[in-house]
């Protein structure tokens, strides 16, 4: 896409690459976990452990951005599990999964 106004022209590549899609899923996941942290009254500095229901569509994107996610949500661990007994249901870009979050400190 190209837009011009006066002597200024801006061009944007609007193609969605697999990396951009994965990054979007990771950012949405971070947003959902941050909301759970807030709703659970965690302190800003509380470290957490996160278990994620094993869901193939999210496994690769979340692993690809593992370091980013852990840094943003202060997670010591981010693990996939075949079964989450008690947790919170979340939706990440129309993918419904269950996560469990516990404090580690």
Give the integer Cα–Cα distance in Å for 38 and 36: 5
* pLDDT for the residue numbered 47: 96
The answer to whether 62 touches 78, Cβ cutoff 8 Å, is yes
* pLDDT for the residue numbered 14: 84
* pLDDT for the residue numbered 23: 95
Across the range 36-41, mean pLDDT stands at: 94
Please report which confidence band the pLDDT of residue 77 belongs to, taking 50, 70 and 90 as the band edges. Answer: very high
Please report which confidence band the pLDDT of residue 48 belongs to, taking 50, 70 and 90 as the band edges. Answer: very high
* pLDDT for the residue numbered 62: 94
* Cα–Cα separations (whole angstroms), residue 41 to 36, 37, 38, 46, 102: 9, 6, 5, 10, 12
Across the range 81-100, mean pLDDT stands at: 91
The answer to whether 73 touches 23, Cβ cutoff 8 Å, is no
Tell which residue, 28, 52, 44, has the closest CA to residue 101: 52
The answer to whether 73 touches 50, Cβ cutoff 8 Å, is yes
User: Is the full-model pTM beyond 0.95?
Assistant: no
* pLDDT for the residue numbered 83: 85
């Amino acid at each position: 896409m190209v837009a011009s106004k006066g002597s200024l022209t801006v061009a944007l590549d609007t193609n969605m690459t697999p990396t951009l899609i994965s990054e979007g899923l990771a950012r949405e996941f971070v947003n959902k976990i941050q909301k759970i942290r807030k709703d659970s009254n965690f302190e800003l500095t509380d470290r957490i452990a996160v278990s994620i229901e094993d869901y193939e569509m999210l496994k690769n994107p979340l692993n690809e951005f593992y370091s980013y996610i852990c840094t943003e949500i202060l997670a010591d661990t981010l693990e996939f599990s075949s079964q989450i007994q008690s947790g919170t249901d979340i939706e990440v870009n129309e993918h419904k999964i269950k996560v469990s979050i516990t404090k580690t400190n």
